[in-house]
Chains A and B, each alone.
Chain A
Amino acid sequence: MNHPNTSSTTDSNSTAFIRKLWRFLNRDIRTFKWWGQGTKTSESDYSSLPEVHGDAGAQKVAEVDIRSEVDPRKIVSLRFRRDVLDWRDDFHFNVTEAASQAKSRLASQIENDLSNIGFLRNRLFKKSAREVLEDHIESCVRSPMRQALQLEQVALGRRLQGWLPNRHESVSIWIMWPKLEWDTRLDLNFTVENRDEILNTLQDLILGINGLADRHRHWANQYSTQIMAMRHVVSDSL
């Protein structure tokens, strides 16, 4: 016997409909079939999948691709960065070594000059350290340092050739050369008595804080940071 719809069955139907609608509205959008593969899915996303049991269920879960969270193109920029850092490290090492050797050469030149200094020059006709050291600084420090920097310039150009083909030729190492012999700390007489002071001053000027080597290292730090900031490196990744 067919019973006409009572108000209670209508209520239960509408309640069921509302429940369905509520569940539908609360569904994770990624569980819809039409949602493409590009959707981010991770382990934690499994909680949003419909609960499934047994082999068929496991297979269904396995079919959901786990999206990769890494970008292989990143390796190109990391390699570029490493290459620039390697150049910077080599620059620090080589330039500091060159400055250290230059300082040793200059020190032995000074020792030699002081050991041969005559009485009159040491006592009466004294010359300033600046004046005496001018030529020595050029031959023992500035010239070899210039050569060392040229080598570093070539090394950087070679490294950049693969990464920045349009920029590697424009690489130039330019640093405002401090006029060592003009430093006020060398305003002292070139005499045997001032030997230690002269040598210590030159040690500071060449290898100390803000000295010749230090300035070069700072420059290399800044320059390498600028290079690393360049975005358009040649990619070897597909």
Chain B
Amino acid sequence: MLSQIPFELPLKFLPGLASGEIIRYGTILKHSGTGQILGHLQESGVAQTLLSHALSSVTSVTSPISLASTVLNAGVSVYTAVQVRQLKAMMETLQAFQIATLGISLIGVGVSVGGFLYMRKRFNNLDSRLDRLLDTVKTGFENLEKSGVRQQMSRTKSLVQRAELARTLIDSSKEYKEVAAQLGEQAAYFEGEIVHLISAKGVINHETFWLLAQLWMLCNSVRLDCQIWANELLNALHVSEKIAVEYQGVFDRIGPTSFDVGHSEGRSTVRFLRDATDAAHTKPFLLDYLRTKRLDGPIYIESLERETEQPMLFLKIS
């Protein structure tokens, strides 16, 4: 329940952030002098609803450089005036904390991206892009078995759907755990493809990489959410630590000039990957807080989903 969880508005920390009194790492805000962790940034259900509509009308986002502006532009055309205001406010908050791309990506801000419906929409978006990419772009997929990739996509899609429907089962916890385990395998597949892609000689095909990276992160995000819904917080914590190390191992090898696109676009992609890695490193801290405070995973996510006004929240821990 929201009343039980000490959420605050993140905007009140902006002056401290501007003065250097507060520093942000990943989704954690901490006091620069004492090093004390103040709390965690977290998106709410409102953010997912807003992004879900905006992103469903976007089909051409091929890199993080255009993501923020595309979402805003799409939002203006599909929303009511109130929603546009909310979307703009959310983007301003995300930009103020320098996590705009992260906030609207599949990583999400905080421990959970919450809505599986939103994740499925994002996945469908990626699915249509993959079809186009497999048919038109040869580079990067030359060594991939096309049918194999499609098969993995279908499997992942069905798992996201299972996660979405798991809540309606009598023994939903079991289903969440099973889906999480299988998504772990899917994540390993996409990770393997990324490693293969970046290990090849020469520059990396940016579009292929960006797509695979998003699929990898989607699998991991849904996987963690399933663990939280199953209230397996200790396991989720350890899984999230492992994920962070994997992101670091793969993404640290890439630089702004590694891709076959302009260096500015490469730089923006790499910045996103660094932010994603940082956010992944801070997830265990939030999960640990929920554990040690005996906050139930499902209750935590439900309280985020119930929030109707504020897209961004701050979970105060000290």
Contact = CB atoms under 8 A, between A and B. Distances in A.
B294 interface: yes
A85 B275 CA distance: 11
Contact of B267 (A79, A93, A237): A93
Contact of B35 (A42, A62, A89, A236): A236
B257 A92 contact: yes
Contacts of B266: 93
Contacts of B274: 82, 85-86, 89
Contact of B234 (A62, A69, A72, A213): A69
A88 B37 contact: no
Interface residues of B, number: 34
B37 A43 contact: no
A92 B257 CA distance: 7
Interface string A45-82: 00000000000000000100111111010111011001
Contacts of A62: 294
B246 to A, nearest CB: 15
B91 to A, nearest CB: 23
Contacts of A68: 288, 292
A70 B33 contact: no
Please indicate which of the listed interface residues B257, B278, B292 has the most CB atoms of chain A within 10 Å of its own CB.
Answer: B257
Contacts of B33: 236
Contact of A44 (B34, B234, B267, B284): B234
Interface string A103-123: 000000000000000000000
A200 interface: no
B252 interface: yes
B36 interface: yes
A82 B255 contact: no
B251 to A, nearest CB: 9
B281 interface: yes
Interface in B222-242: 233-234, 237-238
B314 interface: no
A43 B291 contact: yes
Contact of A72 (B32, B267, B285, B294): B285
Given A69-B237, A82-B25, A93 B256 contact: yes
A97 B237 CA distance: 41
A93 B263 contact: yes
Given A92-B257, A93-B267, A236-B32, A70 B252 contact: no
A130 interface: no
Contacts of B162: none
Contacts of B120: none
Q: Which 10 A-B pairs have the closest CB atoms?
A: A237-B35, A92-B255, A93-B256, A70-B288, A236-B35, A66-B292, A96-B257, A79-B25, A93-B267, A238-B35
Given A42-B234, A43-B291, A236-B35, 16 more contacts: A43-B234, A65-B292, A68-B292, A69-B237, A70-B284, A74-B281, A75-B285, A78-B278, A82-B278, A86-B274, A89-B271, A89-B274, A92-B257, A97-B263, A238-B35, A238-B36
